[in-house]
Amino acid sequence: MEAHSTLRLERSGMLTLSDMAKYPFIPEAAEYIRRLDFKIENLLEDDYAPILSRAEKRIIDALTTNPPKVGYNPREYGEDIEIISFPVAIVLVSALANENVKRRYALAEAKRAYELLREENWEKVIEVARRFGWRIRAANERIGSVKFDFALNFIDYLRNISSFHEKDWKLVNRPVLKGEVYLSKQDVARLLQEEIQRYIEAKIDPKVRSILPEEILKHLERLRQTCAEKIRESPVEDISSLNSIGVVGDAFPPCIRQLYEAAQSGRHISHIGRFTLTSFLIKVGMDKNMIVDLFRKSADFNERMTRYQIEHIAGERGSGTKYTPPKCDTLQTHGLCPGANDLCKKIKHPLAYYLRSARSLKKKFRG
Ligand code: SF4
C-alpha cells in the first residue's frame, strides 16, 4: 500500500481524499485511481489483499443488511482502501451477473451515501450534487413557517422522484418558485440516493467477466456461493395457517396497503408491484373475482388477461407453480417498501407481517 499513500491528491473543488472515500463514485475518485495506475491484476498481489477483502465486504454487507446498506467506518479502512475497493466491488458484482445482487448492491451503496450526505454541510452536499450535473443552489429561505436549505431545478427534481409513491414528493405538494423546487437537506440527500443508485446500476456490466484473470474468477466463485446462501428465499413462517385466518384488510403491511390503494384508484403499478399484490392477495385467500375487480380501474385493464395472470400466479395455469410474494429486502430493492413500522422490524416477509398482525387483531377482537 506504500505506493498509494505517497501519491498526494490536490483538493478538487471542495472535495478531499476523505470525501472520495465517502463518495467513491465521484469523478475525482476515478481520476485518483487512474493516477495510481491500479489494474485489476494487482489484486493478486499480497499488498492489495485488503482491497479485495473490503470489496467483498461491501457486497456481503449489501446482501445481508436490511434495508441494504454498505457500512462506513473510517477507522477500520484507510482512504485508499475505501476508494479503490468501490470499483473493484463494481467489477465483482458485474461478473456475478445477478440482477438481484446488482440492484441490492447499488441500493446499499446509495443508502450509505444518503446517510453520510445527511450529516454534511450544505457546501459539500452541493458539490456532490453538481457531480451529477444538478442545477442546485443553497437557498436558506423561509417560505411560510418552513425553512428550506436548497433550491433545485424542477427537471432534476422530477428525474429523481419517478419511483416515489408518497404524496409528499408530488410537485404540487412542494414549494416551486421560478422553476426551482425548495427542499430540506434531508430531501436533497434522499434524491441524491436515487441518482447514485441509478448511476451505480448503469456501471455494472456483466461483460466484464470475460476479462478477469483466472485467480480472480476463483475468488468470485467463493463470493457467488456466499451470495447464493444470502439471497436464497427463506421460507415464510408457517404460511399454511394463513387460510384459517381469512382476509383481514387491517392486517395488511404498509407495502401491500400502498399497492392495494394504488390499484383501487387506478394508479400505475410496476410489473413487480402487481405480482407482489396479486400473489399476496391469493395467499391470504382473497376471492379471485375480487382481485380481478381490484384492477378494473387500471388504464390498461383487460379482464381476460388479468384473470389469466391471477390464475397463473395461483398455480392454476402453466407449470402449476403457486407463487409467493417477494421478501421485504427484494421489495425494498425495488422501491416498493414505503418504510418499515415497528412490526416490520421483526419480520422479513410481508406474509409474516400479515400473519402476526391478523392474529393479534383477532385476539383483540375476541377480547
Ligand atoms: S418492511 Fe416488509 S412488510 Fe414492512 S412495509 Fe416494508 S416490505 Fe412491507
Q: In sequence order, what DSSP letters do the residues of 136-191 get, joined into one string?
A: EEEEEEEETTEEEEEEEEHHHHHHHHTT---GGGSGGGS-EETTEEEE-HHHHHHH
Q: What is the pLDDT of residues 265-275, one digit of tens each?
A: 999 999 999 99
Q: Is the C-beta atom of 262 inside 6 A of ligand 1?
A: no
Q: Is the C-beta atom of 255 inside 6 A of ligand 1?
A: yes
Q: Chain-wide mean pLDDT for the chain?
A: 86
In whole angstroms, give the CA distance from residue 295 to residue 260.
9
In whole angstroms, give the CA distance from residue 35 to residue 39.
11
Query: 234 pLDDT exceeds 60?
Result: no
- Expressed in angstroms and rounded, the spacing between residue 257 Cα and the centre of ligand 1 is 10
pLDDT of residue 244: 54
Give the mean pLDDT of 284-308.
89
- Expressed in angstroms and rounded, the spacing between residue 280 Cα and the centre of ligand 1 is 12
Cis? peptide before 67, omega within 30° of 0: yes
Q: Is the C-beta atom of 352 inside 6 A of ligand 1?
A: no
The pTM of this model reads 0.64
- Expressed in angstroms and rounded, the spacing between residue 190 Cα and the centre of ligand 1 is 19
pLDDT of residue 121: 94
pLDDT band with cut points at 50, 70 and 90 for residue 233: very low
In whole angstroms, give the CA distance from residue 85 to residue 79.
10
Q: In sequence order, what DSSP letters do the residues of 71-93 get, joined into one string?
A: ---TTTS-HHHHHHHHHHHHHHH
pLDDT of residue 11: 40
Q: What is the pLDDT of residues 146-193, one digit of tens each?
A: 889 999 999 999 999 987 766 789 899 999 999 999 999 999 999 999
Q: What is the pLDDT of residues 245-271, one digit of tens each?
A: 667 888 999 999 999 999 999 999 999
- Expressed in angstroms and rounded, the spacing between residue 68 Cα and the centre of ligand 1 is 13
C-alpha closest to that of 297 among 258, 247, 262: 262
Contact 198, 102 (CB under 8 A): no
Q: What is the pLDDT of residues 9-45, one digit of tens each?
A: 334 457 899 999 999 999 999 999 999 888 888 888 8
Q: What is the pLDDT of residues 44-103, one digit of tens each?
A: 888 888 999 999 999 988 887 767 789 888 888 899 999 999 999 999 999 988 877 888
- Expressed in angstroms and rounded, the spacing between residue 14 Cα and the centre of ligand 1 is 39
Give the atom of ligand 1 at the shortest distance from the alpha carbon of 258. 5
